[in-house]
Structure 1
Amino acid sequence: MFKRILSGLLVSAMLTGSVIYLAGCSNSNSQNGSDDNTSTKTSTEYAHADKIDNGTILQCFSWDFNTIKESMADIAASGYTALQTSPINACLEGEDGGMQLYGDGKWYYHYQPTDFKIGNYQLGTRDEFKAMCDEAEKYGIKVIVDVIANHTTPTTSAISQDLIDAGGGSLETLYHKNNAYDLTDYSSRLACTTYKMGGLPDINTERTSFQDYFIAYLNDCIACGADGFRYDTAKHIGLPDDPKEDDGFTNNFWQRVTTEVNNADNLFMYGEVLQGNNERLADYMEAIGHTTASTYGGKIRSSIINNTLSKGTISDFWVGSAPLNMVTWVESHDNYINDGNWYSMTKEQVLLGWAIITARKDGTPLFFDRPYNSSVDNEWGMNRIGTEGDDMYKDKSVKAVNFFRTAMIGEEESIVNPNSDSTAVMIERGTKGAVIVNTEGELETGFETNLADGTYVNRADGKTKYTVKNGKMTSDANIPENSVVVLYNEGYKEYADTAEVGVADDTVFNIEKGKTATVTLTCANTDNAEYVLNGGKSVAYKNGDKITVSVPESSDIATLVLTAKNSNGVKTYERVVFAVEEKYSVAKGTKVYFEKPDSWGDQIFAYVYNDELYENETWPGLKMTKESDGKYSYTFEDDWETPYIIFNDGDEDGSQQYPADKGLIVEDGKTYTLN
């Protein structure tokens, strides 16, 4: 339902893992903990954990395969061990192939499969996926594919015949018998694993022929270069001892997909198991290998937002007696989009949370990269599927703590509140390293630490020095508010600052047809930034240069590609897209009509909104007036710029709306029908 707008060279082995350095030759020195490592020598030989468990994962949310491939150097330079794609299966081509994250297109279409074969119009082809995996291999980056086995698109007419045949030959056999029921009682394991969730048809994952079909899809992903899988909605697929329908099949889906796929012993697999009523977290960890730790993410967000980083809250993973085989996060894409975290938590606060979860010994941290140019005032930013997300994923503090994590493999952890100040927390790893996060006010040094005596430089800012002597940490400067301090010497490698390219924060990404826009370009840490506009020639630019952008007559978008290299020749890439905007005005007093289908309820509403996030009322909108001829009318009470309208019969379960996606253009006096 449409909701309201605000909706391979092994160099050192350690205790529990090892580090791999790839892609180039090093000229830096690693020194012991008691020495001051302030060398200006730099390396392009990036230290990545040899196992995904010990490293970090970048969630490339709605990036297409070519964008990920072009961004691989940046991903490696930022210290990630693995990247996670959005679902790469075939999916519904909604809104005539529109490519907005939300609006004229939908990010979630690839989470609603039409077939289990590689490639879709949003992310790219199978060949492009393989080329992306090949590029990742060059940099030592592992590839995790987000997969969905639990459900399909609700637009069942779009489901491929091959999938239907694999599901027993009909839509009825593809799905569970209980698919006729909507899931409301999450405490019932039978309902949770066989009922329809959120309107999404529930696949009978116990059917052997479907399992065979899905395993073939997984093996094709592996053949292309996938190193692991994230299972979406995993808790809605039954465990071996869960109750099930009387259909002659057994609950063996997890046993088969974790053991019968190629290279099974070397794959990293985890399931999305959102914590709540009767979710059986420990059992899913045993069945799949790893699960998410959603409650911990919520505790981290709350701690950062409220400036209360108590040791007890931070140290507890909130998984009970379950083993610590978990993927942790500050926020997931669902938290960002559906839970409103996009406006309740700033990017800077996300980075503080990331430092905490990544500095820790246990868990495998996942970094969700927010949409490009998004903010607490603009959920979708540039609002484009396929392009790179926000530069926050390669922030200096993120890079510093990612490499810290790799250097600390095998070290135990200690969590304390420095000076007993609960607005700050310090995660120490043995005597080798420490990460300090301070959320409120300046934090005075002079507190106790387990760090070995010596002089340390904050790897997050590259300059501030800290001295440890006789178990006390001191510095000439206090630790600023909303800052991250990353301290370690042993295992540290000096890397050149990443080149930065982009457009000004106030850039508007919609251009009226036939008009132009002036765009300010930005760059830093480079002397060779270049741009290519609409496939033209490459042009050098400097920070602050302005260019004129227009949409070609033969297209509905303008494409701006920005590239640069840093002092070590490491490439940075960004693709910026400007879309045509068709503007029109609607005057106060404009009146429209709607013919209600017989199957709808008797109270009809008009929900009006525009791209500036104005709405006539929160969903379902304002009640329409029933006219004498049986039609329903709505009169605009204000002037509007480029509004869209959706007709519906309320927000109760089973309610109807037209259209199902983006609203209709408003035309004075028009009668709208479903035909």
Structure 2
Amino acid sequence: MKKRLYQALLGLVLSASVAAGGFFAAVPQTAYAQNVATDSESGYYLADNVQDGVILHCFDWTYQQIIDELPDIAKAGFSSVQTSPAQLAVKGNSIWYYLYQPNCFAVGDSGLGSEADLKRLCTEADKYGIKVIVDVVANHLAGDHSNIDSDLKGSEYWHHAGSNINYKNRWQITHGDIGMPDLNSENWLVQQKVSNYVQQLKNDGVDGIRWDAAKHISLPLEGCGFWSTVIDKSMYNYGEILVGAIDENEVDQRTASNINWMKEYTSYMSVTDSNYGNDVINAFNSGRVPSGFGSWVVSGLSEDTLVYWAESHDTYANDGGSTKYVDQNKIDRAYAIVGSRDGASALYFSRPAQTDKEKIMVGQKGSTHFESAEVAAVNHLHNVCIDEEDYYTTTSDLSAAAVVRESGACVVLGSGGNREVTIANGGLRKDGSYTRTTPGVYYDEITGNKFTVTQDTISGEVGSTGIAVFYKDDNGQGGGSGGSGGSETSETRDIYLDVTNCSWFGSDSAVAAIKTDKDTTFSKMTTTVTTDTNKTVYTAKVPKDATSATIVRMLPSGKYYNEKTITLNQSYNRYTSDGNWFSLTTDLYNTQGGSGETQTGINVYFTNNYNWSNVYAYTWGGDGKQVQWPGEKMTYVGQNEYQQSVYTLQISADCKGLIFTNGSGAQTVDITSGIKENGGYYISGNASGKYSVGTYTYQK
């Protein structure tokens, strides 16, 4: 295997948000992206080389901004970062595209930082096992030749074929202008200038090169020695090849000459498959999943020479960019497909805050959505499954797809979320092998939802993001096992952990796990509901003679973080967030036995179609605890198809009445009938100062 366990740096600050007693929000923050353990046993699973991992495109970020985010980038599973071009260009409050109009082949401060800053980035990234890729512009320089390298001002260093390029003519593609005069790539001095620049970057600590407009630079096959001269094969190299070496229609794209040119490129570098990226995002824009593989794989190119994306800086930042106004969630679903594939690397684009081409500026840090639970989970799967073949399978109606790997899978919906899916577990490859995920029970890293995998099918509920990811890691953990743990002694007692107000107990897809001083490994705790407070707490059987316990947040994969060691009190059985112990008898608990199904409570839902800033549910009657007005604060689940927020709360199954309120004077009418499991409510109008309600059945 080519992956490695890169140890977490000591001293990283733990961060967590307040959890609402055992309820897992439908859109949690991933543990990798939000928290990291500070002990030497925990770390980041990142790829040893760029091609095996995934790349975060820090478009227009300064080197210092990237340095500041390195801990979160590593936790999110990115093995590499890509910077904008480092060549000297217009400096100051400049628009992004000026970096693609450089003056020379040398590192210069054009708004991203100095060469010393670039070196610092490379040094700091090494500490996390992250590779640094720099975008290199070698096809052209700035159109204003008064400021370019004086050595390259002579006519012999430039092509003179004009800008009216016929993109079905390879010679015109490699000799015509694409907005700036085209460098004569066949010239020896041009090649040496670029080669020297590559070595400067290498000496600064850069690990890889992204070759801008590589399609427009001739190949040795065409009598040009550029690539054989400038490529340093000790570094990672990938080239921007949009559509193909020539632009043909869908059928002609696979002509022998075009494929031969592409294979020639891949003898020097990996290449982008923009057609595949376009196909994938177009499918999600239509509310379905893509129907198949990328065209270059079908044409015979190996996936380990390809770089995929859901969007790039060209599709976002340029006028008329095809993804500029596409919802981020659709981009994430597309990335989930391409980022889960075997062999190919995948690029995740950090979107600028601005959308106007002329307002996207150099040095302005983009979105940190790369930290989201769904993106990080895809990356973790990618890294865990390095060297495992994949198989892409879909439902017959293209409403869902799965990228199946031996150790896990990524399941993606074409649209919507919170619904059950059953899909084929892999299939027969061309070589006669059958690729499937190892049968067993797994848990989605994003939501914690259970997935059952048989020899033939994968079944489970995909959450609100439309993405589910589950896998088993190298330690043999995963699939929700959490380790066997336990003590050999048969003398045990029950303890209960109330995490309602624990600031160290994050709200994400992880669950509580425990290891006492008598145990060797962590075991996941089960959940229970106290009938005295109607709170969900965690419970576990521990050896009677145990004197201390360590509580952690554990992911479905078995990785854990946020360690908290407590002293066990032999006289009491319930630990609260303020560090106190007290005793409750076991008949005050409704034990779920780890099934996750509450026997004495039901879940109700409220669609906040009036956009209340807070949502509470007030109940009365029955055996449940009657709370003080305005009731208990409900927990956010996600958004429905109309982008309205949905909230949930578990209430007593035999309560006599229910009111929803914002806690500030607005409330619904009394609801005294039809209260049932998965009952949903929304405001349908105003009646005598109180809002009337409509009902629906919440579909998970």
Q: Same fold (TM over 0.5)?
A: yes
Secondary structure (helix, strand or coil) at the match of 1:490 reads: coil
Q: Does 1:491 align with 2:474?
A: yes
CA distance, structure 2, for counterparts of residue 415 and residue 525 of structure 1: 41
Aligned amino acid, residue 282 of structure 2 = S
The 5 A counterparts of 1:334-373 are 334-338=314-318, 339-372=320-353
- 1:321 matched to 2:310? The reply is no
Provide the residue aligned with 1:143 in structure 2.
Answer: 132
1-side partners of 2:221 and 2:194: how far apart? 22
CA contact (8 A) 1:424 1:438 kept: yes
Aligned to 2:238: 270
Q: What SS class does the counterpart of residue 315 from structure 2 fall into? A: helix
Structure 1: which amino acid aligns with 2:339?
T
Amino acid of the residue matched to residue 134 of structure 1? T
Cα distance in structure 1, aligned partners of 2:172 and 2:422: 56
Q: Which runs of 5+ in 2 are unaligned?
A: 12-30, 248-257, 426-435, 479-501, 507-560, 565-700
SS of aligned partner of 2:382: helix
Structure 2 equivalent of residue 414 of structure 1: 391
Contact 2:119 2:205 in 1 (8 A): yes
Amino acid at match of 1:329: W
The alpha-carbon deviation at position 389 of structure 1 amounts to 1.1
Equivalent residue for 1:45?
A: 43
2:224 aligned residue: 251
CA contact (8 A) 1:84 1:144 kept: yes
* Aligned equivalent of 1:303: 283
Determine the C-alpha separation between the residues in 1 that align with 2:119 and 2:264: 30
**How far apart are the structure 2 equivalents of 1:221 and 1:25?**
30
1:152 to 136, 141, 160: 141
Q: What is the CA distance between 1:464 and its match in structure 2?
A: 1.6
**In structure 2, do the counterparts of structure 1 residues 24 and 66 end up closer, same or farther at CA, with 3 Å as the change threshold?**
closer
SS at match of 1:266: coil
Partner SS for 2:117: helix
- Name the SS of the counterpart of 2:277 in structure 1: helix
The answer to whether the Cα contact below 8 Å between 2:221 and 2:264 also exists between their aligned partners in 1 is: no
Equivalent residue for 1:70, pick from 43, 68, 71: 68
Deviations 1:7-38 (A, max 9, x none): xxxxxxx2xx3324233489xxxxxxxxxxx9
Q: Are 2:405 and 1:429 equivalent residues in the alignment?
A: yes
CA distance in structure 1 between the aligned counterparts of 2:168 and 2:294, rounded to whole angstroms: 28
Aligned to 1:391: 368
Q: Partners of 1:41 and 1:347 in 2: how far apart?
A: 26
Q: CA deviation at 1:448?
A: 4.4
C-alpha spacing 1:51/1:277, structure 2 compared with 1 (3 Å): closer
Shift of 1:393: 1.5
8 A Cα contact 1:21 1:45, kept in partner: yes
Residue by residue, what CA displacement relative to the aligned partner does 1:86-120 show, whole Å, maximum 9, x if unpaired?
Answer: 00000124xxx32xxxxxx3101111110111122
Please report how far the alpha carbon of residue 467 of structure 1 lies from its aligned counterpart in structure 2 after TM superposition. 2.9
Partner of 1:457: 443
Deviations 1:110-169 (A, max 9, x none): 11110111122311111111011111111110111100111011112221xxx231x3xx
SS at 1:57 equivalent: strand
2:290 and 2:225 map into 1 onto residues whose CA distance is 42
Measure the CA separation in 1 of the matches of 2:59 and 2:314.
11
**1:417-466 deviations in Å (ceiling 9; x for gaps):** 24x34121011102x201100132454345443433332111123x2222
C-alpha deviation, 1:317, in angstroms: 4.7
Q: SS of 1:113's equivalent?
A: coil
- Partner SS for 2:104: strand
SS of the aligned residue for 1:52 comes to coil
For 2:54 and 2:503, the matched residues in 1 are separated by 25
**Partner in structure 2 of residue 403 of structure 1:** 380
Match of 2:273 among 269, 290, 293: 293
CA distance in 2, matches of 1:222, 1:470: 48
Pairs aligned (count)? 437
Match of 1:467 in 2: 452
Q: Is the 8 A contact 1:413 1:428 kept in 2?
A: yes
Q: Distance in 1 between matches of 2:503 and 2:272?
A: 36
Aligned to 1:89: 87
Q: TM-score, normalised by structure 1?
A: 0.60
Post-superposition Cα deviations, 1:575-607, rounded to whole Å, max 9, x if no partner, equal: xxxxxxxxxxxxxxxxxxxxxxxxxxxxxxxxx
Say whether the 8 Å CA contact 1:440–1:482 is kept in structure 2. Answer: no
Inter-CA distance 230–470: structure 2 relative to 1 (3 Å threshold): closer
Given that 2:284 and 2:290 are in contact with CA atoms closer than 8 Å, whether structure 1 keeps it comes out as no
TM-aligned CA deviation for residue 68 of structure 1: 1.1
Q: Distance in 2 between matches of 1:525 and 1:401?
A: 27
| Cα deviation digits, residues 262-297 of structure 1 (max 9, x gap) | xx3431101111115726452443342211111111
Residues 439 and 482 in structure 1, CA contact (< 8 A), matched pair in contact too: no
- Between the aligned partners of 1:322 and 1:468, the Cα distance in structure 2 is 31
The 1-side partners of 2:503 and 2:165 are apart by 53
- Find the aligned partners of 1:411 and 1:371 in 2 and give their Cα distance: 34
- Structure 1 position 120 matched with structure 2 position 120: no
Alpha-carbon distance in 1 for matches of 2:245, 2:198: 30
Structure 1: which amino acid aligns with 2:301? Answer: A
Q: Is the 8 A contact 1:271 1:288 kept in 2?
A: no
C-alpha distance in 2 between matches for 1:414 and 1:282: 24
Which residue identity does 2:234 align to in structure 1? N
Out of 191, 213, 229, the position equivalent to 2:209 is: 229
Give yes or no for contact 1:447–1:472 (8 Å, CA) kept in 2. yes
In the other structure, the counterpart of 1:628 is: none
What TM-score do you get using the length of structure 2 for normalisation?
0.58
Q: Quote the sequence identity (%).
A: 30
Q: Which SS does the other structure have where 1:91 is aligned?
A: coil
Contact 1:451 1:471 survives alignment (8 Å): no
Matched, 1:240 2:241: no
AA paired with 1:433?
Answer: G
Alignment of 1:207-218 (within 5 A): 207-218=187-198
Residues 219 and 265 of structure 2 are in contact (CA less than 8 Å); yes or no, is this contact kept in structure 1? no
Contact 1:435 1:484 in 2 (8 A): yes
In the aligned structure 1, how far is the partner of 2:208 from the partner of 2:473?
31
Q: CA deviation at 1:231?
A: 0.7
What residue identity is the alignment partner of 1:322? L
Aligned counterparts of 1:269 and 1:131: Cα–Cα separation in 2: 22
Q: Which moved more, 1:63-72 or 1:279-288?
A: 279-288
Residue among 414, 439, 444 paired with 2:420: 444
Superposed displacement of residue 188, structure 1: 2.4
1:172 to 143, 151, 155: 155
Q: Secondary structure at the match of 2:199?
A: helix
Within a 5 Å distance, the mapping from 1:165-204 to structure 2 comes to 165=151, 167=152, 170-176=153-159, 178-179=160-161, 181-198=162-179, 200-204=180-184
DSSP 3-state at the match of 1:138:
helix
SS at match of 1:351: helix
Q: Name the larger-Rg structure.
A: 2
Using the TM superposition, give the Cα deviation of residue 335 of structure 1 relative to its aligned residue in structure 2, in angstroms: 0.9
